[in-house]
Structure 1
């Protein structure tokens, strides 16, 4: 079975609404139809596992013409609803799976709030979908970072640099000691910096650095585009000995990510920009666990989770939940993906991040925390490594900074913003 968990607000009896949800998304509709036998319903009908009230609202959160026609404008109950859907209703079809567990449920008249908060599948069903091609262990191996967080940054300015300018910047970051460098999510195939030209120019510098030092810095090129173009970009990137392609998940969609996964062995760096549009409201959209489960079934290797105490709206609890979900296998074997922390991160936010997550299996990306360090990017990266050393040694950052100048400067520069 495919188990979906929802938060539902409704002015109607929850047993009726949950039964309607299960019927709407499986073998039934609002009335019994010809051919809808008991045998068919028993095999293909979804099953309501549980309903439980967790709160109430004085008035409907979302408008519903159906509710208004019925005059049901009074208090609504808020419920946690769990429904099991038969695997045979989906087969192996990720867009259809998403349609089953979400689909028209958001539009039901009886519902004045609905959020899909989790999707869980059996180990056998998980194995029928794409797995990470690189994953955590492969990312560590490719980046020559066996046993600590990967430290990296984002190309800034994100728009306006020529391919050669970008290549020069990446070369400096390689020399500074970066493990990972990525394009910004809005860096696409610009007329002034086409992605194929960026790939060729940057990878030339990355290979030169590897030939001198033995370390191949992982660079995530944003190849977000229509599907055929993404495949072409991935082929060029692989030919240039690149290791990672970045994709804006929400704007290319589940099918395109699956297609890219099947086409290319590159690490797929999943950027979730736009997730706030479906995740921020407590009674509408999709929660992070459900969202991540769907894209993990598409075979991504890395997934952005934002950052602790960062510049975005996420609570630390939200970031923690997202990261721990990435690091928890969905099935037998290792299908974990590497959580990627970013947005206002610097050396001072690293200890709290590691304490909350309880693992070094993560990417920790600092834009300003590296690029705006008073002594430059190399010192910014050094401050991150020093912060990690302090955590491992159990020494407070303030104490460790007394003998580590780069960390001390970072704390002076960014501490008021931390």
Structure 2
């Protein structure tokens, strides 16, 4: 059987229900047509090569097929289910986002979207809790969950970190959160931080009558992440946090398997995502990264602030919609809005995202002129005002901490 690039292009192809269909945006290399480039993408990401082959076996059932090419460079490629190892994100991504990212046949290539078939999807566990964490572990029924990272995000000694957490909890936030680069440093060791923070958590719960918790960053080498997750569970925590991209998809899958036994939810930070998705013409979109995270089983995921925070704008609403959509019965993922948020822009954020989110503010709480507790009170008041259909100024007449926050930051986004 002869195999050439033309065998990987059929513009009349109709995908089967078991095909994984990926949409790429392709800019062909010099002297290359879009059709030729598309065929090479399908070839390289499945079972082709640069040289014409003559093989005895019929391996066409393992060949990807490029189809549905558009004038703006969008190309769909259908991958047969037999090409993939069930339940292995590493193997799937080595196909659809592997060598093709560096081929000379394309100047640039971006994985834009994926359409996941049921058979492949069901081989992954998905989230254990999803948005149910708002009521299963917290008292955030009918409103967004609220979280905060102590600031400065690294450098605080353990005692001060825990004290800031207490002030934020009693001020009205639901969750304390570690920063993505705070793990187990000498100035704030992991085990001591967990122990002291949960002591303050328990005190805040008793004073407020609300359930509070802590998103503990366990990011490390895989075996150490599992050990840290067990430590969190042993000390009364319900959540762990993983820097899912820097730690790696296989590590995340290992952690997800252990947290199933421990009854822990996974808060996913996306540090390093911009290395893949910031350039709009190349790499892997945040939409696809979010899809991988849902399959692997995270319960929360940072997805952006619809341009209202300090980070680059992206398709936050579209990503959130996908994370909360039906996917063959797989649990949803609770989107997290973070990065430069403060009480003065909460209403605009929630207008865009709706209430099924977690709102996380750092400087927008701890930078309040009257301190962390007042900053948390202002964020809680701004959120509840939106839920109640009240303007921020109206609520600020009854909540001095919100009035102070609005006077300081107004309704402008930071940079």
| TM-score, scaled to structure 1 | 0.88
- Residue 388 of structure 1 is aligned with which of 373, 383, 389? 383
Q: SS where residue 106 of structure 2 aligns?
A: coil
Correspondences of 1:15-414 after superposition (within 5 Å): 15-35=35-55, 37=57, 39-41=58-60, 43-54=61-72, 79-92=73-86, 93-211=88-206, 213-264=208-259, 265-315=263-313, 317-329=314-326, 331-357=327-353, 359-414=354-409
Q: SS where residue 248 of structure 2 aligns?
A: helix
Please list every run of at least 4 consecutive aligned residues from structure 1 whose deviation after the TM superposition is greater than 6 angstroms: none
| C-alpha contact 1:249 1:257 (8 A) present in aligned 2 | yes
Q: SS where residue 331 of structure 2 aligns?
A: coil
From the superposition, tell whether residues 36 and 233 of structure 1 become closer, same or farther in structure 2 (CA, over 3 Å).
farther
| C-alpha contact 1:309 1:349 (8 A) present in aligned 2 | no
From the superposition, tell whether residues 383 and 36 of structure 1 become closer, same or farther in structure 2 (CA, over 3 Å).
farther
Q: What is the Cα-based RMSD across aligned positions, in Å?
A: 1.9
Q: How much does 1:410 deviate?
A: 1.3
Unaligned runs of 5+ in 2: 1-18
Tell me the matched-pair count. 389
- Deviation readout 1:232-287 (Å, 9 max, x if unpaired): 10000000011111111111100000000001131111111111111111211111
Q: SS where residue 8 of structure 1 aligns?
A: strand
- The whole-number CA distance in structure 1 between the counterparts of 2:294 and 2:231 is 25
- The whole-number CA distance in structure 2 between the counterparts of 1:398 and 1:215 is 26
- The whole-number CA distance in structure 2 between the counterparts of 1:411 and 1:145 is 24
Q: Does 1:8 align with 2:26?
A: yes
Unaligned runs of 5+ in 1: 55-78
- The whole-number CA distance in structure 2 between the counterparts of 1:214 and 1:402 is 25
- The whole-number CA distance in structure 2 between the counterparts of 1:320 and 1:385 is 22
From the superposition, tell whether residues 386 and 214 of structure 1 become closer, same or farther in structure 2 (CA, over 3 Å).
closer
Q: How much does 1:288 deviate?
A: 1.1
Q: How much does 1:15 deviate?
A: 1.4
Q: How much does 1:211 deviate?
A: 4.6
| C-alpha contact 2:198 2:236 (8 A) present in aligned 1 | yes
| C-alpha contact 1:248 1:272 (8 A) present in aligned 2 | yes
From the superposition, tell whether residues 36 and 271 of structure 1 become closer, same or farther in structure 2 (CA, over 3 Å).
farther
- The whole-number CA distance in structure 2 between the counterparts of 1:410 and 1:233 is 37
From the superposition, tell whether residues 33 and 401 of structure 1 become closer, same or farther in structure 2 (CA, over 3 Å).
same
Bigger Cα displacement from structure 2, 272-281 vs 135-144: 135-144
| C-alpha contact 1:120 1:293 (8 A) present in aligned 2 | no
- The whole-number CA distance in structure 2 between the counterparts of 1:369 and 1:351 is 14
From the superposition, tell whether residues 397 and 165 of structure 1 become closer, same or farther in structure 2 (CA, over 3 Å).
closer
| C-alpha contact 2:242 2:266 (8 A) present in aligned 1 | yes
Q: How much does 1:177 deviate?
A: 2.1
Bigger Cα displacement from structure 2, 22-31 vs 99-108: 22-31
Bigger Cα displacement from structure 2, 22-31 vs 371-380: 371-380
- Deviation readout 1:85-136 (Å, 9 max, x if unpaired): 1111112111010011111101111100111111221233212102211211
- Deviation readout 1:185-206 (Å, 9 max, x if unpaired): 1112102222122111212222
Q: How much does 1:291 deviate?
A: 1.1
- The whole-number CA distance in structure 1 between the counterparts of 2:236 and 2:123 is 30
Q: How much does 1:391 deviate?
A: 2.5
Q: How much does 1:36 deviate?
A: 5.8
